[in-house]
Chain A
Amino acid sequence: MIRRYLALLFFSAMTVCGAKAQVPSSFIRSAPWDEETLNAAATLPVQEGGRVMPLQSYAGFSLLAMNGKRSLRLPNGEKLDPTGFLLDLVFFPEQAEDYECFVVSDSKILDLIGVPAKKRRARYSYRALAKGRDALYAAASTASSRENQDLLDKQVMGLARNVQRFEEIRALGATANVQLHLPKDVSQALLGGDAPTGVSFLFDHWSELQEALGSSDDSDALNSFLEELDGMGREARLAPALFPPEVPVSEEPEWRNPVEVLYLGLTQPDAHVEKAVGWLASLETLARQRQDPAAFREELVRLRDSVRAEAERRGEYGTIASEVRLFNLHLVMRALIFFLLGFITIAFSWLRPKSRWLPRLSFLFTAIGVALTVTLVTWRSILRGRPPVLNLYDTILFITSIATLTGLVIELINRRRVGLSLSPILGVLGAFLAFRYEVKSAAISGDTMGQLQAVLDTNFWLATHVTSITIGYGAGLLATGIAIGWILMRALGVRRRDRTLYREITRMAYGVLCFSLVFSVVGTILGGVWANESWGRFWGWDPKENGALLICLSQLIILHAWRGGYIRQHAFNALVALQGGVVIFSWWHVNELNAGLHSYGKTEGVLFYLTLGYAFLGSMALLSAVAWLRDRGGSASSDPPSSLLQ
Chain B
Amino acid sequence: MKSKKTEKPLAGALGAVGSLGTACVLLMLLFVLVFAATLKYKDLGEAGVKQEFFIPWIAHLGALPFPGGRTVFSLLALNLLVGGLIRIPWAWRTAGVLIAHLGVVVLALAGVVNFTRSDYGMATLYEGETINNYRDYTQVELSVWDASQTTDVTEYTIGDADLRSCSRQGRVFSSPELPFDVEVSGFLPHAQILPKGPMWEADSPVVDGWALKREDAGNTDPKYRVPALVVRVGDQTALLGAGDYMAWTFEADGKLWALHLHHTRHRLPFKLTLVDTVRENYPGTNTPKVYRSDVIYGPEQRKVTISMNRPLRTEGHVLYQSNWGRDRRGEYSGFSVARNPSDQWPKWSCWIIGAGLILTFFSRLVRYTVIQARLREKEA
Contacts and interface: CB of A to CB of B under 8 A. Distances in A.
Contact of A536 (B20, B28, B288, B322): B322
B371 A553 contact: no
Interface in B76-129: 107, 110-111, 114, 120
Interface residues of B, number: 63
B365 A454 contact: no
A525 B353 contact: yes
B291 interface: yes
Contact of B376 (A415, A461, A534, A595): A415
A614 interface: no
A521 B31 contact: no
A241 to B, nearest CB: 6
B309 A522 contact: no
A403 B269 CA distance: 51
A454 B350 contact: no
A47 B290 CA distance: 19
Contacts of B287: 50, 451, 453
A638 interface: no
Contacts, number: 162
Nearest to A645: B364
B54 A541 contact: yes
Contacts of B54: 541
Given A454-B290, A536-B311, A566 B354 contact: no
A117 to B, nearest CB: 35
B289 A451 contact: yes
Contacts of B111: 538
A454 B336 contact: no
Most chain A beta-carbon neighbours within 10 Å: one of B318, B336, B357: B357
Interface string B328-341: 00000000111000
A254 interface: yes
B49 interface: yes
Interface in A439-460: 451, 453-455, 457-458
Given A526-B350, A566-B21, A535 B336 contact: yes
B285 interface: yes
B372 A413 contact: yes
A501 to B, nearest CB: 12
Contacts of B364: 511, 514
Contacts of B23: 560, 564
Contacts of A542: 41, 46
A534 B46 contact: no
Please report whether the interface of chain B is mostly helix, strand, loop or mixed according to DSSP: helix
Contacts of A550: 31, 34-35, 38
Interface in B320-358: 320, 322, 336-338, 343, 346-347, 349-350, 353-354, 357-358
A454 B120 contact: no
A595 B346 contact: no
Most chain B beta-carbon neighbours within 10 Å: one of A534, A553, A560: A560
A255 to B, nearest CB: 7
Contacts of A47: 283-284
B196 interface: no
Given A413-B369, A451-B282, A557-B27, A566 B20 contact: yes
Nearest to A526: B350
Given A415-B376, A461-B309, A593-B39, A50 B284 contact: yes
Interface residues of A, number: 62
A533 B361 contact: no
Interface in A311-360: none
B360 A514 contact: yes
A546 B37 contact: yes
A253 interface: yes
A532 B350 CA distance: 13
A173 interface: no
Contacts of B224: none
A244 B288 CA distance: 21
Contacts of B376: 415
Contacts of B338: 536-537
Most chain B beta-carbon neighbours within 10 Å: one of A49, A528, A541, A546: A541
Given A454-B308, A518-B354, A541-B54, A535 B24 contact: no
26 contacts: A241-B284, A255-B283, A415-B376, A457-B290, A517-B357, A518-B357, A521-B353, A521-B357, A522-B350, A522-B353, A529-B350, A532-B346, A533-B311, A534-B308, A534-B311, A536-B311, A536-B320, A536-B338, A541-B37, A543-B38, A553-B27, A553-B31, A560-B23, A560-B24, A593-B38, A594-B42
Interface of B: 19-21, 23-24, 27-28, 30-31, 34-35, 37-39, 41-42, 46, 49-50, 54, 107, 110-111, 114, 120, 281-285, 287-291, 308-309, 311, 318, 320, 322, 336-338, 343, 346-347, 349-350, 353-354, 357-358, 360-361, 364-365, 367-369, 371-372, 376
Given A536-B311, A553-B30, 14 more contacts: A49-B282, A50-B284, A50-B285, A413-B369, A525-B350, A525-B353, A532-B343, A536-B318, A537-B120, A549-B34, A550-B31, A553-B27, A553-B31, A557-B27
Interface of A: 47-51, 241, 253-255, 413-415, 451, 453-455, 457-458, 461, 507, 511, 514-515, 517-518, 521-522, 525-526, 528-530, 532-538, 540-543, 546-547, 549-550, 553-554, 556-557, 560-561, 563-564, 566, 590, 593-596, 646
Going nearest first, the 6 A-B pairs with the smallest beta carbon separation are: A50-B282, A564-B20, A595-B42, A253-B283, A525-B350, A536-B336
